[in-house]
A and B are shown apart, each in its own frame.
Chain A
C-alpha cells in the first residue's frame, strides 16, 4: 500500500479530532487549535484541511445534529479511520526515533 504522508498542520488536526471524540467539527477544531496550540487560523483553513484529510482517507464524516446557535444547521462530525491512526503513529515513531538518536537533544535535557 502506498504510504500517505501527513503535514504538520494535518497532524495537529488529526490529533484534535481524536481528542474531541464525538464533537469534532470545523469550528470546534478551530477553537481547540487556538486554545491548545495557540494557532489562530480561519474557519476556511480548517475546512480545507479536513476536506483534504477525508480525501486521503484518514478521517470519515457524518452529519450530526443542528443547534440553535448554528441557525438550525447540522454539523459535520469527523472521526479518525484506521489508516489515519496509522499515519499518526508513523509520524510519531519517525520523530521519536530521530530524537533518541540525538543525545544532545535528549528529552530530559530540554
Chain B
C-alpha cells in the first residue's frame, strides 16, 4: 500500500506526461502534480480526478513539450517542408497511382458531401423560427380499430376554443390550403393558396422583403413568396399592384399585393406561395361553415407565453374533448396532443395530414452509399500504398540510416496521405458543387420537395465536417500503410531481404470487401431499374392507357362536358369529386362489429366503366336511385370480413348504405402503398372536380391536344390542367430517377474497384517481372502466363462472389421492401449482371497485363543494369 502512495494517482497520466514532456522537466512536473493530488484529499474523488487531469492536460504547453523524436533542439520545420516536397515529387512520379487515389477519394468525398448537405438539411429544418419552442401544432388523437391515430388536421373552431378557455395561449392561427388560379395581366397560373389568420406571420418567422405583415388582417390583401413575386412581377416591387384570383369561371376577386416574403431558408418544411386572410376561404367553398365543429382546417397552431404551460393545457384539455365529441357525429377524438414546432418535422412521419413532413426512411441510402464508396476508395489507397512501397524501400532505408526513427517515418507517410486527401477534398468539393449536387437535386430533391439542396460553404459546420473527413480518411487510409512501411529494419532493406507485398493477407481481405460492396450496390441498382419496368407493365387494376383526365370545377365541368362529348375520339366521359391516383377522402364505415377506416371516392354513374374497373359481382351504379348504394373493392370485403358480397348494408355518416357491386382490387396510388379498403359513392354535380375521358385506342395524344384547345377557347382565364392517366402514378419519374442515381453510384464503385485492381496487378506484375521473364524464357505460353498473373485473383474473385451473391440478394430485397409495398422479387438476372460485370473487370485488367508481358522480350527484363 505504501508503495502505491509513491506513484502518481494515475499511471496513465505519468506515462502520458513522460511521453510528451521534456526529460529534464518531468521530475518537477510529476512531483508537483503528485503533491497537488495529495493536498486535494478533502474533495470528492471524482472532482479530485477531474481537477488532476485538468492540470495534467494543461502541461501541453510549448515550453514543456518535447520535440517528436531525435534531438529536440533541432528545428523540425525544415523536415516537414521536406516531407511535403517528397510527397509532391511522388505524386508527379507515379501519375497512375496518384490519379487512382485522388479520383477515388474525391468521388467518395463528393458523395459524402451530398449526403452531408441532406443530413444538414434534415437536422436543421424549421429551426429558424424564433418561437419554435413556444409554437405548437394542435393535433387530434383518434381511436381507430383499437389503435390511436394522430391527425394534423383539426376541427375549425378548435383554435378559438383554445384561445378562450386557456389564458396561457397567447396567439392562435388556423391554416387552410386550397388551389386557386392567379391572374396578373396576361400571366395566369394554377397556384396553391394558404388561407390563414393574421397571427401566422407573428408566430412563424417569415420576414417580409417588402410590405407589412399586418396587411394580412385585410381580407383584400395578398402576400406573396419571393418566388411568386418573381414569377408574376419580375424583380420589381409589386406592392400595391392588383391581382385577380379566379375561383371559378364565373367568379373572380381582386386582391392588392401587400407583402413579399424574404427568400425562405432552404431547411424548411413549412412555407407558402400565396398568403390570404382566412375569411376568404368562404369564396373557395361557399358551402362550408368554418364555425361548425364538423369543418376541419389543415392546421391549428397555438403560441404560449411560456412553453412549460403546455403541461397545464394537456392536463386540463380532457373536459373539453367530451363536449367536442358530442358536437360531432362520428369523430372519435380521444385526446389532443401538441407538437412543438421545433420537433414537428421529425414527428410528422407519425402524423396523418401534417402540415410539415419528414424525409422517408430511404434518406439513409445516400449516407450509406457515400460510406461504401469511401471505404472502397480508402482500401484502394491502402492497397496501392503497401504495394508501391517496394519502390521506396531504399528511401525508407536511407532515412532510417541517417536518424529517422519509426515515428518520423509514420509522420512522413501520414503527411503524404493528408496531402493526397487535401487534393481529393478540393476536387471533391468541385465535383459535388458542379456535378453531383445539381444532378442529385434534379433527380431527387427538386422532384420530392420542390427545392434545391445547397452546400452552405460559409457555414462553420461544413468546414468542421470537411476537416473531420480529411482527418478520418487521411488517417484511416494512411495509418496502416505507414505503420507497415515504418516496420522495416534498415539492415533488412539494404540486405534486400525484405519480402512482402506479393502475398499480403490484408490486401486480399480489403479487395474482397471492395468486391462484395460493389456487387451489392450493383445488384441493388439493377434490381431497382428492373422493378421500374416491372411496375410500369404491371396491372393497375384498371385500364390506365387510354384515359385522359381534366381538373375542373362544377361550373366549368358542364360546359366542357357538352363540348367534348361531340369529339369523335371520345368513347365515354365521367365526372367525379375524387380521382384514382389523385385524391381520395378518408372515411369511416361502421358495421355491427366495428368501425373501419376506408378510402372513399365520390364519382358519377359512368366513372367505374370509364376507368375500366373490373366488376367482380353485383352491378355498377345506374343514373338515379343509387344514392344510398356503394361499390366496394375486394379488399373492403376482406377487411370487413363480409362473406356474401352484395346486398349487405353498412353505416356511413349515420345512414345506411347497401353494397350493390364489388370490383377487383386496383392501385389507387402508386406501388409504395398497400391497397386499402375502398368505397365508391355517387357524387353531387356541384362537387365535381375531375373529368375523366376514355378515348379510342392510340388517340390519346391527339385528343389531349384537342382538349387543350377546347379549354382555352372556353375559359381563357383559367389555364388547362389535366393529363394522361398512365402518367398519374409518376412511376417513371420517381423510381427511374432514384434507380439511375443508385446505379450510377454503383458504377462509380465499379470504376474504383477496377482502378484499384489495375493498380494492384500492375505492381504485382512489376514486382514479379524477373519471374515472368524466366518463365517466358523457359517456354511458358500465354495460358501459362495468364494463370500466373490472374491465378491468385481468380480465387479471390470466386470467394468474393460466393459471399456477395446471397448478400446482394438480401440487400436488394430489403431495399425494395423499404421503397415499395408491391415490387418484383429480385431476379437472378440482376445478380448475374453484377457477377458478370465484376468478372469482366478481372478479365480486362488481367488481359492488359498478360498482353504486355507476352509482348515483351524476356531479355529486357532479365538484363542487369
Contact = CB atoms under 8 A, between A and B. Distances in A.
Contacts of A67: 35
Nearest to A52: B63
A74 B31 contact: yes
B64 A48 contact: yes
A68 interface: yes
A85 interface: no
A23 to B, nearest CB: 12
A48 B21 CA distance: 12
Contacts of A69: 34-35, 38-39
B31 A43 contact: no
A43 B39 contact: no
Nearest to B57: A44
Interface string A21-56: 000011100100000000000111101100110000
B36 A43 contact: yes
A73 B36 contact: no
B58 interface: yes
A80 to B, nearest CB: 18
A44 to B, nearest CB: 4
Given A68-B5, A71-B7, A75-B28, A44 B35 contact: no
Contacts of B54: 42
A73 B55 contact: no
A70 B34 CA distance: 5
B730 interface: no
How big is the B interface, by class? 20 to 34
Contacts of A7: none
B32 A47 contact: yes
Given A68-B6, A69-B39, A71-B7, A47 B64 contact: yes
Question: Which of A30, A52, A71 neighbours the largest number of chain B CB atoms within 10 Å of its CB?
Answer: A71
A103 interface: no
B30 interface: yes
B662 to A, nearest CB: 82
A72 B63 contact: no
Contacts of B34: 69-71, 73
A73 B5 CA distance: 12
B58 A43 contact: yes
Contacts of A51: 25, 63-64
B33 interface: yes
A57 interface: no
B30 A71 contact: yes
Contacts of B321: none
Interface in B19-44: 25, 27-36, 38-39
B590 interface: no
Contacts of B31: 66, 70-71, 73-75
A45 B263 CA distance: 50
Given A42-B55, A43-B36, A43-B55, A73 B28 contact: yes
Interface in B37-88: 38-39, 54-55, 58-61, 63-64
B6 A72 contact: yes
A31 to B, nearest CB: 8
A51 B32 CA distance: 15
A25 to B, nearest CB: 7
B8 interface: yes
Contact of B28 (A30, A42, A68, A74): A74
A36 B123 CA distance: 50
Contacts, number: 76
A42 B8 CA distance: 18
A27 B6 contact: no
B64 A43 contact: no
Contacts of A68: 5-6
A47 B28 contact: yes
Contacts of A26: 28-29, 32
A71 B26 CA distance: 13
Contact of A43 (B6, B7, B33): B33
Nearest to B8: A71
Contact of A76 (B28, B33, B39, B55): B28
A25 B5 contact: no
Contacts of A30: 32
B63 A27 contact: no
Contacts of B28: 25-26, 47, 73-76
Given A26-B32, A44-B59, A71 B64 contact: no
B78 to A, nearest CB: 24
B571 to A, nearest CB: 89
A76 B31 CA distance: 9
A28 B31 CA distance: 12
A43 B32 CA distance: 8
A7 B550 CA distance: 84
A48 B36 contact: no
Contacts of A74: 27-28, 31
Contacts of B8: 71
A26 B25 CA distance: 12
A44 B27 contact: no
Nearest to B26: A73
Interface in B97-133: none
A44 B29 CA distance: 8
Contacts of B7: 71
Given A44-B59, A47-B25, A27 B5 contact: no
Interface string A59-96: 00001001111111111100000000000000000000
Contact of B35 (A27, A47, A52): A27
Given A26-B28, A47-B64, A51-B63, A71 B5 contact: yes
B305 to A, nearest CB: 41
A86 to B, nearest CB: 24
A43 B31 CA distance: 11
A26 B194 CA distance: 71
A47 B26 CA distance: 11
A42 B510 CA distance: 48
A27 B36 contact: yes
A74 B28 CA distance: 6
B270 to A, nearest CB: 49
Contacts of B61: 44, 47-48
A61 B607 CA distance: 102
Contact of B30 (A25, A42, A48, A73): A73
A44 B64 contact: yes
A107 B6 CA distance: 51
Nearest to A42: B58
Contacts of B55: 42-44
Interface string B6-20: 111000000000000
Interface in B165-221: none
B64 to A, nearest CB: 7
Nearest to B61: A48
Question: Which of B5, B27, B30, B31 neighbours the largest number of chain A CB atoms within 10 Å of its CB?
Answer: B31
Contacts of B33: 43
Given A26-B32, A44-B55, A47-B63, 19 more contacts: A30-B32, A42-B54, A43-B29, A43-B33, A44-B60, A47-B25, A47-B29, A47-B59, A47-B61, A48-B61, A48-B63, A48-B64, A69-B38, A70-B31, A70-B35, A71-B5, A71-B6, A76-B27, A76-B28
Interface of A: 25-27, 30, 42-45, 47-48, 51-52, 63, 66-76
Q: What 8 pairs across the A-B complex have the smallest Cβ distances? A: A73-B31, A44-B58, A42-B58, A70-B31, A27-B32, A76-B28, A44-B59, A71-B34
25 contacts: A25-B32, A26-B28, A26-B32, A42-B55, A44-B61, A44-B64, A45-B58, A48-B61, A48-B64, A51-B63, A51-B64, A63-B27, A69-B34, A70-B32, A70-B34, A70-B35, A71-B7, A71-B8, A71-B31, A71-B34, A72-B6, A73-B31, A75-B28, A75-B31, A75-B32
